[in-house]
């Protein structure tokens, strides 16, 4: 009898609890949809309530949309995204019991935002703009998807208004553990001239929650806090800080610098942060780099201390101001950036590698889905609106092989028409890149219709290839270009060479950092060149005399410093340096023409001068113009903007026996001036 009574009490108690939950839920939803908040400050401090539910992934709940006077809330039962209305900033991200993963800042523009750096021709400096959007619109809404739009239209009467029309969008799908963001920039008739130096999405995560960062398999660790950095010593440039009063003792005297965690475009696929308790990961997943600039090896920022995660669309980092978008008065231009996927994952354990591997798995899934089928913007083209280009690339170098050979692992890409290698600095169009297989075959999928040149470069081969014809790609077409043959720069047989033609200086000698400037995450990795202060190690190794390299005796992995930099004097001045290349010739054709190829992986405020067998002749035998604004030396890049210089050396400048090439980097004044060599080759006269 007593058992039956207890069961009855439990039954009615359960019914009462469920009824109370339903009433509360309806009141909450009603409040979010219809209540007008009179004081903006109150709503910012008390955003719409968060409900966290157990989700059946076999039958995930529908996507819901709640709109109030100040907020737009999208919720799929896994992730809740709160956006400011109508300005379009990311105010909150809720997941796995965490009310807001973002930093608790009163400034809504400093949590999650799109930003650009821009200026008008009359401006003295640039404007950092997190643009406040003016209008909000629901693009689509059903149980499976919500897409919303925030727009801003240029006003000619507004004071110093960014002359772009911008449509910024957010998408959430049913059952997805995350959300997408993409947008369109448009410059049209009537708009004034404009320069945009940078565009990206920035996410500022909670400093109290996120302490572990991962940007690649071999670059991940617990990171110093903002307090550690603010109490540290600023080094040679403001982004680099030596930690002197750390909250975590292993950080003592380490260097934190956001540029140490840069990556090539081709490798910026997934990166982010992990929270210990609860065990949650926040990841930026980039399934394509078709809308980025500079090609597959252009480097850019990823995640860094803050904790901050970025999705960078374009910037001048590691290249220079050539990577900005310059628009003339009334010039017509529009471009879609994204979508980028912001992914969240969690588990009940504490192994960060588990979340990292799951994030990589999700990245591969997103890459397979590209181009996505869900974006509603008519400017974003679906798979059936795109095209395919294929073919095979061969290399014809008669001093290597009598017959053309396969261009293995070559990078092949489509970009707007231009000169050979112009894709490195092209910014207004889309680029589509792939790599060839072992037999030189390539296939580029998902190409947006338009007029292109086809470009390529081949690891192990100097120079750049360009298909001679412009060709126009139309929707749904498949183009097979057949066999293409690249004839790389070559005048005669190789007499000697230094390095590997791969567009980086990574194969040369990279010194250990000073113990007081070490970041331990880069020890014994392929990223050891990302340590701070390596440029000054040249002076430590060569305090009085410069580098001397003897062909056939020296080893470029040990004896060729990774960057031709200036030397620091006892008075802390930075002076030009002259390197020597010694080589023997058993015969010399005094009437013949020899060839020296110098491929540079990077240059910053440099001027190379070359002299043969006499270091003090007034006029150099050969020289480059003033070159380079990449700043790759200061920002630990190991490569920047690639360039190739070819010099003809008259035979009468040479002699039987020992010869010396004196290479002078003639511009001093800064520790960051210099070049990174990719490859040097000396050829005999044509045979």
pLDDT in tens, 614-648: 999 999 999 999 999 999 999 999 999 999 999 99
In whole numbers, what is the pLDDT of the chain averaged over residues? 92
pLDDT, position 54:
60
Strands (E), 380-431: 387-395, 405-406, 411-415
Mean pLDDT of 69-78: 97
Question: Structure tokens of 312?
Answer: 């960078």
Reported pTM: 0.90
With a cut of 50, say whether residue 16 has pLDDT above it.
no
Q: Percent of the chain at pLDDT above 70? A: 92
> CA 296, 297, 299, 304 torsion: positive or negative?
positive
Mean pLDDT of 533-553: 97
Name the pLDDT band for 687 (thresholds 50, 70, 90).
Answer: confident
Mean pLDDT of 197-203: 97
pLDDT, position 42:
37
Nearest to 377 by CA among 168, 533, 595, 210: 168
With a cut of 50, say whether residue 62 has pLDDT above it.
yes
With a cut of 90, say whether residue 332 has pLDDT above it.
yes
pLDDT, position 36:
28
Name the pLDDT band for 245 (thresholds 50, 70, 90).
Answer: confident
With a cut of 80, say whether residue 317 has pLDDT above it.
yes
Name the pLDDT band for 38 (thresholds 50, 70, 90).
Answer: very low
pLDDT, position 40:
36
Name the pLDDT band for 252 (thresholds 50, 70, 90).
Answer: confident
Mean pLDDT of 15-24: 41
pLDDT, position 77:
97
Range scoring the smallest mean pLDDT among 58-67, 247-256, 283-292, 654-663: 247-256
Query: 560-589: string of b/e by CB count within 10 Å (b at 16+)?
Result: bbbbbbbbbeeeeebebbbbebebebeebe
Mean pLDDT of 360-370: 98
With a cut of 70, say whether residue 1 has pLDDT above it.
no
pLDDT, position 110:
84
Strands (E), 58-144: 64-67, 71-75, 79-84, 90-95, 112-119, 127-129, 135-141
């Amino acid at each position: 009898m007593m058992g039956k009574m207890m069961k009855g009490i439990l039954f009615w108690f359960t019914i009462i609890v469920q009824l109370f939950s339903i009433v509360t839920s309806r009141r909450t939803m009603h409040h979010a949809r219809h209540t007008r908040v009179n004081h903006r400050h109150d709503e910012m401090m008390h955003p719409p309530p968060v409900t966290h539910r157990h989700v059946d992934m076999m039958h995930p709940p529908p996507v819901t949309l709640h709109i109030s006077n100040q907020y737009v809330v999208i919720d799929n039962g896994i992730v809740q995204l709160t956006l400011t209305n109508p300005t379009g900033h990311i105010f909150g991200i809720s997941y796995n019991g965490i009310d807001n993963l973002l930093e608790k800042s009163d400034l809504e523009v400093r949590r999650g935002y799109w930003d650009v750096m821009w200026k008008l021709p009359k401006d003295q400096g640039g404007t950092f703009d997190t643009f406040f959007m003016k209008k909000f619109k629901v693009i689509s809404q059903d149980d499976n998807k919500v897409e919303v739009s925030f727009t801003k239209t240029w006003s000619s009467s507004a004071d110093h208004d960014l002359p772009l029309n911008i449509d910024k969008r957010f998408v959430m799908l049913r059952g997805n553990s995350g959300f997408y963001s993409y947008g369109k920039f448009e410059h049209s008739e009537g708009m004034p001239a404009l320069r945009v130096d940078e565009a990206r999405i920035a996410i500022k995560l909670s400093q109290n929650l996120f302490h572990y960062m991962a940007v690649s398999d071999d670059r991940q660790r617990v990171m110093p806090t903002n307090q550690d950095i603010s109490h540290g010593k600023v080094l040679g440039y403001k982004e680099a800080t030596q930690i002197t009063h750390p909250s975590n003792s292993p950080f003592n005297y380490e260097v934190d610098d956001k540029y140490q965690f840069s990556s090539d475009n081709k490798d910026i696929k997934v990166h982010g942060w992990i929270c210990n308790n609860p065990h949650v990961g926040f990841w930026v997943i980039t399934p394509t780099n078709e809308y980025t600039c500079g090609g597959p090896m252009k480097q850019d920022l990823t995640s860094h201390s803050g904790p901050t995660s970025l999705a960078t669309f374009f910037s001048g980092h590691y290249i220079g101001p050539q990577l900005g978008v310059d628009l003339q008065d009334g010039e017509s231009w529009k471009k879609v950036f994204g979508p980028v996927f912001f992914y969240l994952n969690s588990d009940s354990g504490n192994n960060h590698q588990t979340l990292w591997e799951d994030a990589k798995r999700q990245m591969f899934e997103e890459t397979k889905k590209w181009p996505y089928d869900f974006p509603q913007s008519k400017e974003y083209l679906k798979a059936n609106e795109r095209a395919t280009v294929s073919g095979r690339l061969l290399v014809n170098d008669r001093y290597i092989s009598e017959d053309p050979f396969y261009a293995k692992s070559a990078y092949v890409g489509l970009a707007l028409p231009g000169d050979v290698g112009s894709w490195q600095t092209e910014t207004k169009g889309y680029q589509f890149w792939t790599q060839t297989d072992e037999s030189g075959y390539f296939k580029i999928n998902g190409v947006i219709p338009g007029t292109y040149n086809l470009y390529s470069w081949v690891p192990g081969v100097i120079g750049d290839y360009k298909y001679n014809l412009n060709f126009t790609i139309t929707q749904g077409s498949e183009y097979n270009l057949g066999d293409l043959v690249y004839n790389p720069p070559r005048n005669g047989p190789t007499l000697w060479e230094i390095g590997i033609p791969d567009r980086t200086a990574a194969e040369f000698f990279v010194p250990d950092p000073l113990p007081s400037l070490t970041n331990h995450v880069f020890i014994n990795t392929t990223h050891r060149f990302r340590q701070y202060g390596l440029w000054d190690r040249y002076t430590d190794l060569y305090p009085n005399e410069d580098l001397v390299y003897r062909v056939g005796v020296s080893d470029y992995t040990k004896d060729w410093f990774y960057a031709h930099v200036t030397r620091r004097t006892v008075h802390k001045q930075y002076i030009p340096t002259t390197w020597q290349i010694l080589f023997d010739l058993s015969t010399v054709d005094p009437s013949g023409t020899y060839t020296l190829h110098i491929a540079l992986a990077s240059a910053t405020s440099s001027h190379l001068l070359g002299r043969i067998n006499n270091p003090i002749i007034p006029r150099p035998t050969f020289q480059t113009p003033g070159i380079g604004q990449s700043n790759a030396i200061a920002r630990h890049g190991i490569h920047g903007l690639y360039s190739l210089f070819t010099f003809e050396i008259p035979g009468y400048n040479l002699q039987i026996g020992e010869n010396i090439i004196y290479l002078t980097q003639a511009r001093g004044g800064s520790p960051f001036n210099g070049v990174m060599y990719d490859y040097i080759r000396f050829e005999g006269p044509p045979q």
